[in-house]
Structure formats: C-alpha cells, structure tokens
Amino acid sequence: MEYVARLANDDLARAVEAVAQKFIASGGYGSFHMHLASNETIVQTFTSTVSEMTGEAQRFDKEMVRGHLDSLLSGIIDSVLAERRAHLFSANAAADDSAALCASLRHDMKRLKDIAVRKFAAT
C-alpha cells in the first residue's frame, strides 16, 4: 500500500500539470476555471488511487490494515493540499479563491477517503 501511496503523489502532480498545459494552450492559464478543473482532475486521480489502495488492502486482514489505510490516505490528502496551496500561492491566486479551492478539494478528498475506509471495513 505504501508503494501505491508514493505513486499517487506522482500521478496527482502529473494530472495537475496536464490540466495546466491545456489551459496554457488555450490562453486561460491561471484562471479560476483552470484551478477548478485542476481540483476536479485531482479528485478523479485520487478516486483511482483510493480504488487501487483498497484493492491492495483486501489482501490483508481488514482489522489490521484499516487504520493504516486511513492513515496513508490522510497523508496523501495532506500532501496534496500542501502542494496545492503552494501552487496557488506561486500562481498569485487571490487569497479568497485559494482558500475556497483548497477547502473544496479537502472536503471532496476527505469524503472519498471516509467512504472508502467505511466500505473497506464493511466488506
């Protein structure tokens, strides 16, 4: 599971870069719409990561790995949010926009994590 978690950060960074490249090509780089699209891409990539990690965790005793799974996913969320804040700061995003984007992203990712961990424990 740790290996999948490490790969997740790379996948998330590549996904955000791909969104930025699309907006650079269209002349909308740095726009609020671009940052929303980046958030959506991050959530989609995180959804895939959660699926991979819970699939990997199925190989082990649920009681033993549930907390570890939760911890790894929480670590990914924290890492992504820290990178997101830094990216928005370097992109000179308005403080209110940055706070709203990060709060929304945190909410979506945490919701996905909580659902996955509960579902994992119930199966």
Question: What is the band of 52 on the pLDDT scale with cuts at 50, 70, 90?
Answer: very high
Domain tally for the chain? 1
82-98 confidence digits (pLDDT tens): 988 988 888 888 889 99
Burial of residue 2 (number of CB atoms within 10 Å: 0-12, 13-18, 19+): exposed
Between residues 116 and 92, the one the model is more confident about: 116
The residue whose two tokens read 């907390």 is: 67
- What does pTM read for this prediction? 0.86
Structure tokens at 13: 């960074």
Q: Please say if the pLDDT value at position 24 is more than 80.
A: no
Distances (CA, A) of 87 to 15, 20, 66, 76: 14, 11, 31, 16
Residue-range definition of the domain harbouring residue 55: 2-122
Q: What would the mean pLDDT of 12-41 be, rounded to a whole number?
A: 81
Q: Report the alpha-carbon distance of residue 24 to residue 70 in Å, rounded.
A: 36
